[in-house]
Structure 1
Amino acid sequence: MSAEASAGSHAAVSAQCVSPSTEDCSHRGLLGSKYVKLNVGGSLHYTTVQTLSKEESLLRSICNGETDATIDAEGWVVLDRCGRHFSIVLNFLRDGSVPLPDDHRELEDILKDAQYYRVQGLIQHCLSAMQKQKDILETVCRIPMITSAKEEQKMISTCRKPVVKLQNNRGNNKYSYTSNSDDNLLKNIELFDKLVLRFNGRVLFVKDVLGDEICCWSFYGEGRKIAEVCCTSIVYATEKKQTKVEFPEARIFEETLNILIYENSRISGGVHLLDSKGPSLGAGQSEEEGGTGGDHRVRRIHVRRHIMHDERGHGQQTVYKD
């Protein structure tokens, strides 16, 4: 309450000393009082001894004389503490509960005040709210965006989880797209979002919009690339070259499941399964194995290879060629 309430201070605080400079004043100032005026770091509050005594706290010990209180000449009990959140402490003592702010820093400040005044109920209330905020944050899906090759290398090498990266850059194309390429590109992005929600917390999903590939999936385990699914190709079947984007949903989902074998590998020592080849490919798919050092191999899957228009004779089937 504001300082105007000090007009009836002598009637409100019945046991106040006439001379606050005496030694007994700070010790006996609140004994027998009904109302209390508090000056907390310049923030003025008007309440009752009954409210301050509801919980075993520093405020109750001040009221019953167990803790000395400094009282100024106008009868205000002076507490050398920031009074920004003291109203929350008072409201909790009055009602037994109080709404808390969503801001984490403010919540920490209120917790510190509750600990200073030793209000155990408010301490538990703050801790529960902070735990709830932590649980909510852990369920939020955060997708890092690659901004440089150095950042990508550091992120993948230090991550304890398997990593799935989608590289999509529609603007990095000097040819026109085929009729359904835009739809397939969107389908790849939508699948990425669905996988993020499904495997959140188990797999780190990252996006790269700066690379050379238009649409390419990469799968990493133990800090190295395990598999790659390239969804783009150049089509020569028309008078002019066109870029084609495919949507190999089943293969992408399969490789995401395969990468889960590296989920706990860095913690438990891991199981090296790189020597085993992936399942057989569907029609129109190809697989290449490139050495990355030692026996480590990367499964590179190209959904479609280049279609060479001028290599097709009359009445011959389309020739697929790298």
Structure 2
Amino acid sequence: MFSDTKMSGEHKTVIKGNSSKYVKINVGGSLHYTTIGTLTKQDTMLRAMFSGRMEVLTDSEGWILIDRNGQYFGYILNFLRDGTVALPESRRELMDLLQEAKYFLVQDLVQLVEAHLKRLGKDDVEPKCRIPLITSQREEQSLIATTVRPVIKLICNRHNNKYSYTPNSDDNFLRNIELFDRLALRFSGRVLFLKDVLGSNEICCWSFYGHNQKIAEVCCTSIVYGEQKKHTKVEFPEAKIFEEALNCLLYENRHSRPDLELMEATRIGSGASASQSDEEIDVMLDRMRTSNNRK
């Protein structure tokens, strides 16, 4: 590996090595770790970049920097590994993936996406909001690791309960699901929403992720003791859930950490009702947009 160092800490490097050698790639803020063998498997731009024929830009930590949309680079890597890949369902996402496949000159993937777009038809109506149902830990980890958006996950597994519920638990369980649906409809373009219906031992629990890492959790269940037996209690901490959802939105910018003062501004008092605070939430969102624009 030969390099031409620059004052900024970033430098151009020629990469060439054994096919089993691993490299670190930062594509538009989305981080990937794969082998040279995968990257050079097909005759694409990536083969030129990782076989010594082209210079690549790296940072001071050794990450190879590629200024493209990182949301779809995982699809390209999976296609290079296996020769096939599960395509996104949205026409908009398919068009974005097609653009990336053309940029990296992955011709077989280009043909696959174009054929899929033709089968969809021009007049197909697309759902406004899609929510993946998680059925295994591996599936969950893959989705969280490959997205460039913040993630909100709700575990709602009534079949995990071993005891009878307290009187208000059924209603609170439904309220959690209804709030999840409300948030998904409102922020589906900015946040990846996941619903876990099988793959966990929890009954009702919210998890919030930013930059592919868990940043908060709100568990809504507990075990309470009656006179003769145990009961499962499901709560609905609405204000706390809204608070963490707003903080989750602060992780939309992949290139900077959230502003601590702005995070504090999103704190909702413990006695506040989120269902009555939509106007306040809109004000907070405007402050977030202004802050992100300044960055």
State the TM-score, normalized to the length of structure 1.
Answer: 0.43
Identify the structure with bigger relative contact order (alpha carbons < 8 Å, sequence gap 6+).
Answer: 2
TM-score by length of structure 2 reads 0.47
